[in-house]
Amino acid sequence: MADIKTVATRASYGEALVELGKQRNDFIVLDADLAAATQTGKFKAAFPDRFYDCGIAEQNMMSIAAGIAATGKRVFVSSFAMFAAGRAFEQIRNSICYPNLHVVIGATHAGISVGEDGATHQCLEDIALMRTLPNMTVINPADDTEAKKAIFAAIDHDGPVYMRFGRYAVPVIFGDDYKFQIGKASVLREGTDVSIIATGLMVSEALKAHQILKDEGIEARVINMATIKPIDKEAVLAAARETGAIVTAEEHSVIGGLGGAVSELVCEECPVPVIKLGVYDRFGYSGPAGKLLDEFGLRAKDIAEKAKSAINLKK
């Protein structure tokens, strides 16, 4: 059996910026002294006159990005998720979202899979924070292909965009023919017993969970929800109506993330059991990324168990 290709989506970000830079010259890239880690250094090497290092000053960087966007220029602004969504929240809120400026925030090193960097850098709250902001679009791609296509889509999207990328190399799921559209989910596996709605690196785990459940005679629908805001209401409500139970899977706090978005919608329009799988109101800690995913219950077997629990809650 051929080895499965794995790529960290932060690497996809850097590569896509370079490719985008070859095709158009109407945008610039900002970074906060982390170009090697965020992979924007690749863009800097290719287009040094369109790259600006703002130093370890994330709040100032967001304000600079806002000023540039106010002139009509397109801008990508890059840092770790903890620093972008956390440290610079006020500037994103007041200087970017309030005037509805076109700034794409490339937030790398998100989630527990940052690994050895530990709790201070393992941002588990960023989706919740960004999802609360008016005008903000939130995208959490599942793999290399989707990340690159999402970046190409984001540059022409009206208003601010928060894009979440990871340090941990994840399986490449999609081929070059994959069609990405902001606000649209994709059904990866059909099923009638339960729906698994996953985002980011949890999508590959959801696909493995599908096989575990199938071996037990359970048919699970697997949905890739790359855009968390605006969420694909049609896909979520179809899952609720047609399978009667939902499990959400995310490498994020269960408070305010994908699970929250799905629960809010389902509760209002089509009440069915929803079980949220993610990090349960706790901080992470330093350790190898793979072992942390095991420790925090973010694996296929954990999704499969939640799916069976959801089925048991069906009336």
Which residue's structure tokens are 């005008």?
A: 135
CA torsion through residues 228, 232, 236, 242, sign:
negative
H helices of 93-228, where? 126-131, 144-154, 202-215
Q: Which residue type is seen at 176?
A: D
Catalytic residues: 58
Q: Which residue type is seen at 245?
A: A
Q: Any bridge partners for residue 6, and if so which?
A: 171
Q: Return the beta strands (E) in the chain as ranges.
A: 6-7, 27-31, 51-53, 74-80, 103-108, 137-139, 161-164, 170-171, 186-189, 194-198, 220-224, 227-229, 246-253, 274-279
Distance CA 113, CA 167 (A): 7
Which residue's structure tokens are 């490449």?
A: 172
* Contact criterion met (CB below 8 Å) for 139 and 164: yes
Which residue's structure tokens are 């929250």?
A: 260
